[in-house]
Structure 1
Amino acid sequence: MTASKNFEVIIIGGSYAGLSAAMALGRSLRNALIIDSGLPCNRQTPHSHNFLTQDGEQPAVIAAKAKAEVLKYSTVRFLTGTASAATKTGDGFTVTTVEGETFQTKKLIFATGIKDLMPNIKGFAECWGISVVHCPYCHGYELKGQKTGILANGARAVHLASLVYNLTKDLTVFTMGKGDFTANDLEKFKTHNIQIVETVISEIQHENGQLSTLIFDDGSSINYDALYAAVPFIQHSDLPQSLGCELTEQGYISIDNFQSTTVKGIYACGDNCGMMRAVANSVYTGNFAGAMVNKELCDQTYAVSAIAAKTSNS
């Protein structure tokens, strides 16, 4: 329960992007509330990489340290809960939680992330983020030289293959059906000895998320160490769209160069608005979003003060 119901900024989503936005706002003396459900998308990933000073650390440890640092700023509050509704008011927004609390705010920042849509493969979800991964930059070094598969088709498979081949030469592309490749794509695969398997994977055998064997729907199987997968996603929260925020063709929240959405007063940061899916990028975009929200609030206050001063002197 939060005593105050009125804030200058409400941040929905309290993982890396949301906490980073809150730090920028706290250091700017902004009265901010973070609402977080406690379900980050990387909660199953054992280690975070490619982030200076935190390389190899557990994601939950990074988040806990970040939260402790942010809450040292007295103007920032943290609420464990789920935002269920948001509406535009005359001079801001109203946010309601599943738990029944209602808050008022001048500005909104969505740091809500995305939700991966798992394929219908037994064992896939249990391995996601551990030995079935999405990003060579986040996981590739630890998987280098291993027998590796790519679960993708078309341009996504070609893109991943070019990156993963740099890390391991024992590489196979699994298309889950008829491959969708150009003659040039196929020639490149052949040149680099990258196999293409169109047979559908029905199960991933594993131990505590560590892949061991791929089982196919024809009964055959192959032992593998790791699998990169390009899976579809949806927005983790539908609140931005309910407020009128537009999405890109790829399904991300549309933002400008200042993290502002298509609705005035609403900003977005982290995985929900860009394809660079990494902790370091979430921290950067969150920090930038917080700074831009503070600037907008400063500009508005400064303009009002100037008008008031001019009126009193006339």
Structure 2
Amino acid sequence: MKQENTFDVIIVGGSYAGLSAGMALGRSLRKVLIIDNEKPCNIQTPHSHNFLTQDGKTPKEISTLAKEQVKKYDTVEFYNGLAIEGKKTENGFEITTKRGEIFKAKKLIFATGIVDEVPNIKGFWECWGISLIHCPYCHGYEFKTKKTGIIANGERGFHIASLVNNLTDNLTILTRGKSDFTEEQTRKLMQNNINIIETEIDEIQHQNGNIESLILSDNHELKFEAVYGAFPFHQHSDIPKSLGCEMTEMGHIKTDLFQKTNVSGLYVCGDNSSPMRSVANAVYTGNFAGAMVNAELTQENF
């Protein structure tokens, strides 16, 4: 059967934030299309934490159950594919997919996440999300008291170090080049017995993604059981920016308190618009975005 191409709302991105927005809208009988290519950034993370009722579940378990629950709402449809272009129209928006399909909607929600610009280090990807982690709140408890490294520099490195210092007293920052901490930051790091190593990293040695050591460019080997990484990122989708969305200094999509962008009728939620990268935050902002879009549709039609 041919899929309808006109909806009240199109949600681009069908992970936690997108599904949460879809549930809020489905429960208000809005006709919704969720477009997703099923490639979440946490695809190899073994366990998700710090989310009430779901603590310790795999990301796949959470998203599979979420999708099953959203599918129960008859007005919500799913499209497996990649959105590559967006256009503002007289009546709302058009989204074009990689396969050439065009879908129309009065409102748009982007829950498309971000892409980390990670370093080209041998063994990095095999460990990313397993023992090479990004968030002390999501994964730190499982590595408490362990010998821990932080691959970061400057403000990012200092911020993570201040949080992880509460979880272990065996902490080293690896800046992969000259450190650019302020004098005050350096002093605080030294006071807390946090080492700074500026040598480049050549390789991460591991067993099935579990870090054993880092090999530096001078052939020195450092033993670690966990390593945090803080890296630059870019938006997973460039459609919001192409439609005129303003960006923050950090590179997130700028929103008001209601997840609304400066583009009328366009909302965003999840990692693309928040530095708080967690499943719980994605679900919250998605739910809120869905409710606010429904409120906007209600005000326009009531």
TM > 0.5 between the two? yes
Q: Please tell me whether the aligned partners of residues 259 and 267 of structure 1 are also in contact (alpha carbons under 8 angstroms).
A: yes
The CA distance in 2 between the partners of 1:112 and 1:157, in whole Å, is: 26
Most deviating of 8-17 and 199-208: 199-208
Residues 126-165 of structure 1 mapped to structure 2, 5 A cutoff: 126-165=126-165
1:298 paired residue number: 298
The CA distance in 1 between the partners of 2:68 and 2:267, in whole Å, is: 24
The CA distance in 2 between the partners of 1:45 and 1:77, in whole Å, is: 27
Q: How far apart are 1:182 and its partner, in Å?
A: 2.3
SS of the residue corresponding to residue 196 of structure 1 reads strand
1:263 alignment partner AA: V
SS of the residue corresponding to residue 284 of structure 2 reads helix
The CA distance in 2 between the partners of 1:89 and 1:105, in whole Å, is: 9
Work out whether 1:225 is the aligned partner of 2:245: no
The Cα offsets for residues 121-159 of structure 1, whole Å up to 9 and x where unpaired, read as 111121111111110000000010000001111111111
Residues 277-296 of structure 1 mapped to structure 2, 5 A cutoff: 277-296=277-296
Gaps of 5+ in 1: 303-314
Q: Please tell me whether the aligned partners of residues 49 and 138 of structure 1 are also in contact (alpha carbons under 8 angstroms).
A: yes
The CA distance in 1 between the partners of 2:154 and 2:282, in whole Å, is: 28
Residues 109-258 of structure 1 mapped to structure 2, 5 A cutoff: 109-258=109-258
The CA distance in 2 between the partners of 1:233 and 1:125, in whole Å, is: 16
Residues 45-64 of structure 1 mapped to structure 2, 5 A cutoff: 45-64=45-64
The CA distance in 1 between the partners of 2:262 and 2:181, in whole Å, is: 36
1:238 alignment partner AA: D
The Cα offsets for residues 149-202 of structure 1, whole Å up to 9 and x where unpaired, read as 011111111111110010000000111111112222222222211111111111
The Cα offsets for residues 95-134 of structure 1, whole Å up to 9 and x where unpaired, read as 1111221111000000000011110211112111111111
Q: Please tell me whether the aligned partners of residues 2 and 79 of structure 1 are also in contact (alpha carbons under 8 angstroms).
A: no
The Cα offsets for residues 196-217 of structure 1, whole Å up to 9 and x where unpaired, read as 1111111101111111110011
CA 1:2–1:169 in 2, change beyond 3 Å: closer, same or farther?
A: farther
The CA distance in 2 between the partners of 1:2 and 1:270, in whole Å, is: 31
1:253 alignment partner AA: I
The Cα offsets for residues 263-309 of structure 1, whole Å up to 9 and x where unpaired, read as 0000000000010000000000000000000000000001xxxxxxx
SS of the residue corresponding to residue 40 of structure 1 reads coil
The alignment yields a C-alpha RMSD, in angstroms, of 0.9
The CA distance in 2 between the partners of 1:253 and 1:24, in whole Å, is: 22
Work out whether 1:259 is the aligned partner of 2:270: no
The CA distance in 1 between the partners of 2:181 and 2:151, in whole Å, is: 14
**How many percent identity over aligned positions?**
61
The CA distance in 2 between the partners of 1:76 and 1:231, in whole Å, is: 36
Residues 7-156 of structure 1 mapped to structure 2, 5 A cutoff: 7-156=7-156
Most deviating of 70-79 and 175-184: 175-184
1:132 alignment partner AA: L
Q: Please tell me whether the aligned partners of residues 33 and 76 of structure 1 are also in contact (alpha carbons under 8 angstroms).
A: yes
Gaps of 5+ in 2: none
Q: How far apart are 1:68 and its partner, in Å?
A: 0.4
SS of the residue corresponding to residue 57 of structure 1 reads coil
Q: How far apart are 1:2 and its partner, in Å?
A: 5.3
Scaled by the length of structure 2, the TM-score of the pair is: 0.98
